[in-house]
Amino acid sequence: MTAYSGESDLNSALIMMLKTVAEMYKVYLVDDDNIILEELESRVPWMENGFEVIGRCTDPVKAIEEVDSLIPDVCICDLRMPEMDGNEMIRRIKEKGLVCEFVMLSAYDEYDDVRTFFKQSGYDYILKPINDEEIRMLLEKLYVKVSARLPEEGLQIVTQNSTFNDLVAYINEHFTERLCLEQIADKFGFSKNYICQLFKNHFDTTFSIYITKKRMIRAKEMLTDKTLSVKEIAYDLGYADYHHFYRTFKNYYGYSPKETR
């Protein structure tokens, strides 16, 4: 990535920091039910969204020690656990000075529990059972939060891998369609893991975030045409759910599509 002369010192520092990232962002899972942990680790598309699970634990006391040692970027934990609840576990981890994004999983939405979590600067509070769309959106937001936003023109498509160049050119042409990693892997004869690594190595981002970035840039351009409704723009960009588009846009730019207009 290249820092442009008009960027602030802060943005330049963030971009330089991103250059040094060589691996995916790290996630640690905590739940007193090992079956839930196994389901989270196997079902959630971590790799596709730029994350890897580096550990999991059913004991919150032991989890505090492991989190302090492994230093994950994200910690996802259950609320109700024996010995110690999730809010207390987060408090003790924060006392150690760890910089980490916390996501709470719970079958309960009691006001006091939620209030305590967000008072501790928790990132998101999700009710069980988790649906696939919700977790995918969460990972997109977390990646942006952890890695910092990339500059608008920061991605180049010229690499020494001609097949990867063709793959990126295909995505650039079809990003408004419903593309998935498995579909692209089958089309170009790459494994999903290899494609993820190529995006990380060449663009310092993920397959999913690359497509989101392309869509958000196009969305901002389309919003200048006031003959198009926001819903029409969402559908034209491949979003079946208007509300998903609206939240993604606001998370990416910091303001809503309507505020843009």
**Mean predicted confidence (pLDDT) in 82-104:** 87
Q: Which CATH superfamily is domain 18-147 in?
A: Response regulator (3.40.50.2300)
CA dist 215 → 69, 81, 174, 195, 219 (Å): 38, 41, 10, 20, 6
- Tell me what pLDDT residue 111 has: 72
Q: Residues 170-177: contacts with CB within 8 Å, 24+ apart?
A: 171/210, 171/211, 171/214, 172/214, 175/211, 175/214, 175/215, 175/218, 175/238, 176/215, 176/218, 176/236, 176/237, 176/238, 177/238
- Answer whether residue 178 shows pLDDT above 90: no
Q: Which CATH architecture has domain 162-260?
A: Orthogonal Bundle (1.10)
- Answer whether residue 211 shows pLDDT above 90: yes
- Tell me what pLDDT residue 157 has: 53
- Answer whether residue 166 shows pLDDT above 70: yes
- Answer whether residue 14 shows pLDDT above 60: no
Can 18-147 and 162-260 be said to share one CATH topology?
no
- Answer whether residue 11 shows pLDDT above 50: no
- Answer whether residue 19 shows pLDDT above 90: no
In this prediction the pTM is 0.52
**Mean predicted confidence (pLDDT) in 225-245:** 90
Q: How confident is the model at residue 33 (pLDDT cuts 50, 70, 90)?
A: very high
Q: Where are the domains of the chain?
A: 18-147, 162-260
